[in-house]
């Protein structure tokens, strides 16, 4: 039995990722989402073959993430795959989460940081576990302000998004290094430009009338967008290689900034401070793992 925790399946290519994983038998899914009705409607249209637990979770709320992690801890004693796929592209103005954290940063970095940290002890109980983070080629357009991670002083939604995706790559590499002696791998990937609701939101307003044309010319289907995520979930490479950025099922090089150890350290410290969570790497990895 494989136990898979996944976010971001109620829209976009995360849906296809879930259904493609569901083609294999013996899976128990833990789907974290904020809108239960939306998920139920999705299942009504296309049921899952494997078992699924719906776990209510608004990734823009630290309390909600803790509650979801508590619930998963009640439901299982091990996790084989954690998929941090949910993503957010903000409105034009600075919008804080309930915790006062800029919303793009909250969903795209603080949530995966906290959720992963909370679930690490369960991942350590599997024979071999994987963490997969959805990043983006837009990480190459990041422009950080090290004194203002939230861009409070000069907010721009596109910049906040690009920064958050650089954070996904930095976080993946830091965590992989910290987990070197464990049975847990962590990788991230770029799905390419995918025809999803987020793509429409990401377009500058003046390009909106051409959305139909743009998506036909440059975007790939949600099925294709899910391909590398599915590959990392199922391939031997996803279980043996760690700390990499993939595209089209291959390791790709990242922007120079994503290789900077001082940025990795800075991001870890900021994420810890904003989430109020300190990782423990004193993992009990001596269990026999999930059979
Ligand atoms: N589309 C692209 O071209 C592209 C390119 C590179 C990377 N990406 C990345 O790929 C991932 C998936 O994006 P997509 O294009 O499939 O976007 P999408 O269609 O907008 O889907 C985003 C998913 O994240 C969930 N989500 C957002 N905020 C949440 C919150 N506060 N709590 C819980 N769930 C939340 C959404 O839930 P709801 O259904 O409730 O809204 C939805 O399931 C994201 O990380 C995105 O940054 C996308």
pLDDT tens, residue order, the chain (291 aa): 999 999 999 999 999 999 999 999 999 999 999 999 999 999 999 999 999 999 999 999 999 999 999 999 999 999 999 999 999 999 889 999 999 999 999 999 999 999 999 999 999 999 999 999 999 999 999 999 999 999 999 999 999 999 999 999 999 999 999 999 999 999 999 999 999 999 988 887 788 888 899 889 999 999 999 999 999 999 999 999 999 999 999 999 999 999 999 999 999 999 999 999 999 898 876 444 443
Tell how far CA 5 is from the center of its chain.
Answer: 11
* Topology annotation, domain 2-194+222-275: Rossmann fold (3.40.50)
- The pair phi, psi for residue 82, each rounded to 5°, is -115, 125
The Cα-based distances of 144 to 64, 170, 267, 273 in angstroms read: 28, 13, 11, 18
Alpha carbon of 87 to ligand 1 centroid (Å): 4
Distance CA 214, CA 33 (A): 29
Give the residue among 16, 12, 39 at the shortest CA–CA distance from 233. Answer: 16
Among 17, 34, 40, 86, which is best to mutate for testing ligand 1, by the most ligand atoms less than 8 A from CB? 86
* Beta-carbon-side half-sphere exposure of residue 171 (alpha carbons within 13 Å): 33
What contacts 138, CB < 8 A, 6 or more positions away?
161, 162, 165
Among 142, 196, 222, which is best to mutate for testing ligand 1, by the most ligand atoms less than 8 A from CB? 196
pTM over 0.75: yes
- Write down the domain spans for the chain: 2-194+222-275
Alpha carbon of 287 to ligand 1 centroid (Å): 35
């Amino acid at each position: 039995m494989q136990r898979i925790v996944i976010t971001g399946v109620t829209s976009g290519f995360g849906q296809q990722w879930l259904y493609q994983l569901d083609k294999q038998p013996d899976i128990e899914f833990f789907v974290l989402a904020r809108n239960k009705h939306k998920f139920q409607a999705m299942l009504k249209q296309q049921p899952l073959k494997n078992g699924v637990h719906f776990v209510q979770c608004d990734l823009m709320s630290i309390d909600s993430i803790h509650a979801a992690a508590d619930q998963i801890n009640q439901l299982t004693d091990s996790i084989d795959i954690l998929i941090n796929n949910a993503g957010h592209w903000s409105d034009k103005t600075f919008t804080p989460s309930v915790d006062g954290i800029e919303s793009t940063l909250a969903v795209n970095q603080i949530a995966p940081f906290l959720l992963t940290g909370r679930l690490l002890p369960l991942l350590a109980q599997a024979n071999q576990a994987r963490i997969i983070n959805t990043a983006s080629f837009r990480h190459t357009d990041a422009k950080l302000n090290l004194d203002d991670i939230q861009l409070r002083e000069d907010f721009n939604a596109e910049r906040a998004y690009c920064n958050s995706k650089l954070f996904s790559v930095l976080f993946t590499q830091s965590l992989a290094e910290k987990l070197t002696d464990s049975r847990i791998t962590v990788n991230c990937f770029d799905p390419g430009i995918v025809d999803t609701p987020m793509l429409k939101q990401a377009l500058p307003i003046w390009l909106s009338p051409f959305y139909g044309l743009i998506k036909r010319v440059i975007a790939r289907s949600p099925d294709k967008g899910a391909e590398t995520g599915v590959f990392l979930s199922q391939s031997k490479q996803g279980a043996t290689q760690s700390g990499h950025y993939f595209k089209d099922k291959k390791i790709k090089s990242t922007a120079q900034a994503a290789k900077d150890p001082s940025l990795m350290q800075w991001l870890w410290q900021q994420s810890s401070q904003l989430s109020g969570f300190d990782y423990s790497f004193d993992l009990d990895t001596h269990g026999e793992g999930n059979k």
